[in-house]
Amino acid sequence: MALFLLFGAALAFIGALLGQPAWSAWRRRKLQKVAFPAAWRKVLQRRVPLVRRLPPNLQLQLKKHMQVFIAEKAFIGCAGLRITEEMRVVIAAQACLLILNRSTDYFRNVRQILVYPGAFVVNRSTTDGAGVLQENRMALSGESWSQGQVILSWQDTLEGAANASDGRNVVIHEFAHQLDQENGAPQGAPPPALGDTHYDAERWARVFKAAFGQLQAEARFRHEGLLNHYGAQDPAEFFAVVSEEFFERPVALAQEYPALYAELSGYYRVDPLNW
Ligand SMILES: [Zn+2]
């Protein structure tokens, strides 16, 4: 008993000595050294075709990130859904695409991932043009909250992963919001990763404003271009929508919005054009 107490005290002392970041860095390195489960590899092959496109070094990095992500985040099934290993792997693989090549704290604000079987219904009150409050029921495929939760529809998550070239991916979308929220309310201007020397806030703002204006004009004239009109709502939705395109349709995005592609490539520190 005395030995046990002594051991506990020693551990607490080491933890305090190292401090929280050093402690979690140590724990994460340990998680990354564990062999990637064969069953997870099978899920990736079957469910997340985008992973196959990545160069081998990024595939390896992705798998290490997934091991930390899956160990640290709580996955919660909603509306009767039971969380499976497959769900954790499919969600983690897509979320971790956004943190490749970056110094990362693994979406530090996200504590729980709530998963519904399909689209989930929410009540939203909006004010119409005449100032009248309206209650709307909407079916959503995903949502990103600022209190530490990401909500996903499993059906939409699977569909988003299955087609890796249509620019629609709910997991990338919601986790892009989470990156954007790391310095306050999402506004299409996420903080750069530590040590990112490419980032220039003024240039980012200029490029994003021009591209957002172009999409708003398309939406206004109901012209179907490359980008989903959903992104014309506000700069936060715009960043989430163009993040989906960046990973899934890089060639088209680079052609139509070269300056925007360059900003995203600098920010995400990957170049999907070469995948
Ligand atoms: Zn959104």
Task: State in Å: Cα 141 to ligand 1 middle.
Answer: 10
Task: State in Å: Cα 197 to ligand 1 middle.
Answer: 28
Please report the pLDDT score of residue 112 as a whole number.
Answer: 97
What gap in Å lies between CA 12 and CA 251, rounded to an integer? 51
Q: Token digits for 252?
A: 């088209």
Regions in the chain scoring below 70 on pLDDT: 1-19, 129
Please report the pLDDT score of residue 15 as a whole number.
Answer: 60
Please report the pLDDT score of residue 183 as a whole number.
Answer: 87
Please report the pLDDT score of residue 37 as a whole number.
Answer: 98
Task: State in Å: Cα 36 to ligand 1 middle.
Answer: 31
Please report the pLDDT score of residue 120 as a whole number.
Answer: 93
Task: State in Å: Cα 270 to ligand 1 middle.
Answer: 22
Task: State in Å: Cα 105 to ligand 1 middle.
Answer: 22
CB atoms near residue 200 (< 10 Å): 14
> Where does residue 37 rank: exposed (0-12), middle (13-18), buried (19+ CB within 10 A)?
middle
Task: State in Å: Cα 212 to ligand 1 middle.
Answer: 15
148's CB contacts (< 8 A; 6+ apart) are 109, 110, 111, 112
Give the distance from CA 247 to its chain's centroid.
11
Please report the pLDDT score of residue 16 as a whole number.
Answer: 64
Give the predicted TM-score (pTM) of the model.
0.90
Please report the pLDDT score of residue 4 as a whole number.
Answer: 62
Task: State in Å: Cα 173 to ligand 1 middle.
Answer: 6
Please report the pLDDT score of residue 42 as a whole number.
Answer: 98
Task: State in Å: Cα 111 to ligand 1 middle.
Answer: 19
